[in-house]
Structure 1
Amino acid sequence: MPTTNPLVVGHRGAAAVRPENTISSFVRGVADGADVIEFDVHLSADDRVVVIHDPTLDRTAVAGRTSGAVRDLTWPQLQDAELADGERIPTLRDALETITTPIQLEIKAPAAARPAAELALAAGVADRVTFISFRLEALEAVRAVDPGLALGVVTSRPTADKLATVDDLGADMFSVEIPHLDRALVAELQRRGVRVCAWTALTESDVRAAVDVGADLLAADDPGWCRSVLEAAAHPTG
């Protein structure tokens, strides 16, 4: 049985309590005790690396410009999109300047990989960033910028192909949906020096499952809640 709790990863900041992937969400995630902040990036039409999960505005924009593909819109046009609570889409630079914890930077669009890596290096924060993606070509592009940058492979299920990708890249982290992790897999990855991140904890049973398999990190939309569940499990009363 694991003797330590996983580190808490604020998924898209604190997406359950603040608009996801916004500066206020990152600030809230850190304030609520996240050890790591995770967020997503795409590339705009004028080659700005911007923080947004989806390839379009349609789901998260609530006023102003409420539709359109991120890659087809310039930075000024993206700023016309109003998110919940009056928030706006941040740039990667904004995020890196705001977040004080380690970061999981998820590359959604492979075109954003190289500029994201270059920006993190230029900002002097690359040593606390793990570049993660479902897309092999995105991780290969990061590795081409600097072989020393930390990489993480993201997948729903730990297939043979994805596990081979971890080995081929020399990835530092493997990020897998909670239901598809087991103790033997986690222990084997850790033996090979690969950290395991379980995602995404939405219920207490999710948290318990991640602890039971020995995950190194646990992503949650509400990092404050996740930390409280972990602490309660570690110090039961009665």
Structure 2
Amino acid sequence: MSARIAKALTGSAAAAAVGLTFFGAAPVSAAPASAASAAAAGDPVVIGHRGAAGTAPENTVAAFKDGRASGADFFEIDVQLSADGVPFLFHDNTPARTTNVEEVFPGREDDPITSFTWDELQQLDAGSYFSAKFAGERIPHFDDAAAVASARTGVFIEIKAPANSPGIEQVVADKLAHDRKWKKLVDADKIEVLGFDEASNVRFAELAPEIPLQQLSGTVPDAATLERFAGFADAFGTSYRNLDEAGAQRVKDAGLGLGVYTVNSMEALEDSIALGVERVTGDFPIQTERYLEGQKPFPASRGLEITASVNDVPGEDLQAETGEHVVVANTSNRSVDVSGYVLRDAANNILLIGEGYVLKPGAELRVYTGPGTNSADAYYNNGTANVLNNTGDSVALWTGGGQLLDTFAN
């Protein structure tokens, strides 16, 4: 890790709140720990993905507040430019998945999100897709993230799809240099910029060489490519699913800090730590913080666990009776009524558990996406579209009332 990045990654490894629901995380009160003390304890720097996308609608102020309340060192955002040049926070290239664009602007569901003006973006509801509790959440302005961040919890700024937002590197660099709220975070070493587009990262490095910079890639490239990255970046981030010991060593040999995304289970967290990962980005930062503090990550679980996610079955994923499914088990010594419980994946696809399902101690329930015949140990959602990514996905189990019980990733 470079000296510049080591300085940048100061922050909290504090204990997180005890409970978590759709309605937000309680704030922590413990004093923040330095990156040096976190490293000495063997803990990675924790970053809340898109704020805290597992517990609030991604890239909204509500998610940023959950990320801050978790005690994470940073929360991550995705910045793009509107058609009239306003920097806003949104992940996807189109508004279809996470807004009510079909109602507000019929026929524009698949238009580039950057083709909307700032005024048009403010007419969209970016919270209801996640939960009725978040109805009315708006697409934030870039500056809204700085207003939520603090000396405890900083911001990882991903420059998203820069080809769709010409000049965005200059906009971000100017904000960090001249805007009072952003400059305060820069001066506190609580900012890092990152992106997948190498040319964009090089441009940003030239504009703001003092800002820590991370190059992202879905897989770990060869040593020569990593050496090239090290010429302009301080760190490298990749999918934890594609990281092995050899890849981790190549990154370290290049003198780059090592980060992974999107780590949504405690098992994946442990595997990442074992590989020497220094930054862990995930949708559930409060659970990550609790686990690293030696607390139960899911205090409300009542013995319910996701034990498997069968993403890629032989044949069609939605074939009747034997298609893709998630397995929920009761590991407690008492029966649990799971009627109305919810399984939610990273993209916010939802599988429901029907009424009348009571899991006895040691029992398992298979929850299918597609059609089939319901039985005591199987429930079918009769869906018509695949939910689980065949190459790996993460799934969370919630009560019908919005309590988080467990997460699973493969």
Question: Under a length normalisation based on structure 2, what TM-score does the superposition of the two structures give?
Answer: 0.53
Displacement of 1:195 after TM fit? 1.5
Residue correspondence of structure 1 range 117-136 to structure 2 within 5 A: 117-123=173-179, 124=183, 125-126=185-186, 127-136=189-198
Q: List aligned pairs for 1:66-215, cutoff 5 A.
A: 67=109, 68-84=111-127, 85=134, 86-100=136-150, 101-110=153-162, 111=166, 112-123=168-179, 124=183, 125-126=185-186, 127-160=189-222, 162-169=225-232, 171-187=233-249, 189-190=251-252, 192-215=254-277
Gapped regions of structure 1 (runs ≥ 5): 234-238
| Residue of structure 2 equivalent to 1:236 | none
Alignment check: 8 A CA contact 1:196 1:215 kept: yes
**Residues 101-144 of structure 1: per-residue CA shift (max 9 Å, x gap):** 22210011322222112112212133422110000121122122
> What is the alpha-carbon distance in structure 1 between the residues aligned to residue 225 and residue 53 of structure 2?
27
SS in structure 1 of the partner of residue 139 of structure 2: coil
2:287 aligns with one of 215, 225, 232: 225
CA drift of 1:167 comes to: 2.0
Shift of 1:54: 0.8
Q: Residue 162 and residue 14 in structure 1: after superposition, are their counterparts in 2 closer, same or farther (change >3 A)?
A: farther
Q: Which residue of 2 aligns with 1:29?
A: 67
- Find the aligned partners of 1:55 and 1:179 in 2 and give their Cα distance: 24
| Post-superposition offset of 1:183 | 3.7
| CA distance 1:231–1:191, change in 2 (3 Å) | farther
Q: Which moves more between the two structures, 16-25 or 190-199?
A: 190-199
SS in 1 for 2:262: strand
The yes-or-no answer on 1:38 pairing with 2:76 is: yes
**In structure 2, what is the Cα distance between the partners aligned to 1:55 and 1:122?**
28
Structure ranking higher in helix proportion: 1
* Segments ≥4 residues shifted beyond 6 Å: none
Q: CA deviation at 1:162?
A: 4.8
Q: CA deviation at 1:149?
A: 1.9
The structure-2 alpha-carbon separation of the partners of 1:162 and 1:52, relative to structure 1 and needing over 3 Å to count, comes to farther
C-alpha distance 193-103 of structure 1, shift in aligned 2 (>3 A) = farther
**Does the Cα contact within 8 Å between 1:199 and 1:218 map onto a contact in 2?**
yes
1:224 is paired with a residue whose SS is helix
Output the amino acid matched with 2:123: D
Q: Which moved more, 1:180-189 or 1:32-41?
A: 180-189
Do the aligned residues in 1 keep the contact of 2:230 with 2:254 (CA within 8 Å)?
no
1:45-60 equivalent positions in 2, closer than 5 A: 45-60=83-98
Distance (whole Å) between structure 1 residues aligned to residue 292 and residue 257 of structure 2: 19
* Per-residue CA distance 1:39-92 (angstroms, 9 max, x = gap): 101111111111000121111103534733222111001101111222101111
1:21–1:39 contact (8 Å) kept in structure 2: yes
Aligned residues: 232
Structure whose alpha-carbon radius of gyration is higher: 2
Paired with 2:198 and 2:250, the residues of 1 have a C-alpha distance of: 22
Give the counterpart letter for 1:64 in structure 2.
V
Identity among equivalent positions (%) equals 29
SS in 1 for 2:293: helix
Assess if the C-alpha contact under 8 Å between 2:193 and 2:214 holds in 1: yes
- Residue 98 of structure 1 deviates from its aligned partner by 1.7
SS of residue paired to 1:201: coil
Distance in 1 between residues matched to 2:94 and 2:104, nearest whole Å: 14
- Distance in 2 (CA, whole Å) between partners of 1:14 and 1:146 is 27
Structure 2 residue runs without a partner (length 5+): 1-39, 128-133, 296-410
Please state how far the C-alpha of 1:212 moved relative to its aligned partner: 0.8
CA distance in 2, matches of 1:147, 1:23: 29
Moved more, 44-53 or 98-107: 98-107
